């Protein structure tokens, strides 16, 4: 069984919990996932099965989309509702106050990772230090927020919801916390749902209980997305049968014989197919005049 199964992760499960459960249901050893979701978060978690597990280190940096619930007038050590409360205050924030500062958080921004995160400092996870009550200086990192909108806001309860599209490595908790700082009242994330990741949406996702049902009924293939579906951001290249054999065995292909690559810049990654079957990823090397094999997903 080779492909991607998109799970709608429920809260209180870690991403590794989901991997372990899927491994048990499918009786498949080679299982991976496309990006960690915190236990409190729900939503799209693509699970890489069989040959697709080889893609884990090669996943393209596509935007992810989230719905994030928040509450104003509070701060916690984890920046979300699960943490220890550090401060609470009354605030008189209006919808227009929030919308007025959102442009500051759109586009290319710098973000400091939270202490409760898996980022490493001198080989130690930040969350391990945080649990010991240790806070260390962290370097700000560049992230991109392509969409940030206030979808709902209850002025009396001071609670609302954002929709956020962002690059890999963006911490939604930090966006909420930074918004709270700018408003001068504090803000914590109260819920997080990932609605899109790796080109898949929540409409592609199924619950773990549904996966068990598909397995029991022998219909798992119906919800298995092909391996190449996770690389649709790369252009498709079809090669001849002879070229397919060479490429599958690890040999590079001459760009002179691949006319459709003429306009591809150096370093371009392509999805390579032979006889309509996906072989793997290739990368353009202009200095060598070759298309080199980056990864063959089906070679033993």
- The residues assigned a catalytic role are 38
DSSP string across 38-102: -TT-EEEEEEEEGGGGGGTTT-----EEEEEEEEESEEETTSBTTS-EEEE------HHHHHHHG
Contacts of 14 (CB under 8 A, 6+ apart): 36, 39
Beta bridge partners of 69: 161, 191
Residues 4/224, Cβ–Cβ less than 8 Å: yes
Element of type H or E holding 210: helix 208-216
Element of type H or E holding 174: helix 172-183
How far from 5 is each of 9, 31, 37, 65, 260, CA to CA, in Å?
Answer: 12, 10, 16, 18, 32
């Amino acid at each position: 069984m080779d492909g991607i199964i998109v799970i709608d992760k429920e809260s209180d499960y870690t991403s590794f919990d989901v991997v372990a459960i899927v491994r048990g249901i499918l009786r498949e050893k080679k299982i991976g996932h496309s990006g960690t979701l915190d236990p409190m978060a729900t939503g799209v978690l693509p699970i890489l099965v069989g040959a697709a597990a080889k893609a884990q280190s090669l996943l393209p940096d596509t935007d992810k989309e989230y719905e994030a619930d928040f509450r104003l007038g509070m701060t916690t050590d984890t920046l979300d509702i699960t943490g220890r409360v550090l401060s609470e205050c009354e605030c008189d924030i209006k919808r227009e106050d929030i919308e007025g500062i959102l442009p500051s958080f759109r586009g290319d921004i710098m973000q400091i990772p939270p202490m409760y995160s898996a980022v490493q400092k001198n080989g130690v996870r930040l969350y391990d230090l945080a649990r010991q009550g240790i806070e260390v200086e962290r370097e700000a990192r560049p992230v991109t927020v392509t969409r940030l909108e206030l979808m709902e806001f209850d002025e009396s309860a001071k609670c609302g919801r954002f929709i956020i599209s962002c690059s890999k490595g963006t911490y939604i908790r930090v966006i909420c916390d930074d918004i709270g700082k700018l408003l001068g009242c504090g803000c914590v994330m109260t819920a997080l749902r990932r609605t899109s990741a790796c080109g898949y949406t929540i409409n592609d996702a199924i619950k773990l209980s549904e996966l068990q049902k598909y397995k029991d009924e022998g219909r798992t293939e119906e919800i298995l997305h092909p391996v190449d579906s996770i690389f649709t951001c790369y252009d498709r290249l079809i090669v001849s049968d002879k070229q397919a054999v060479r490429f599958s065995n690890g040999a590079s292909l001459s760009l002179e014989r691949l006319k459709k690559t003429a306009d591809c810049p150096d370093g371009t990654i392509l999805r390579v197919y032979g006889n309509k079957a996906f072989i793997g990823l290739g990368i353009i090397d202009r200095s060598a005049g070759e298309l080199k094999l980056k990864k063959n997903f089906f070679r033993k």
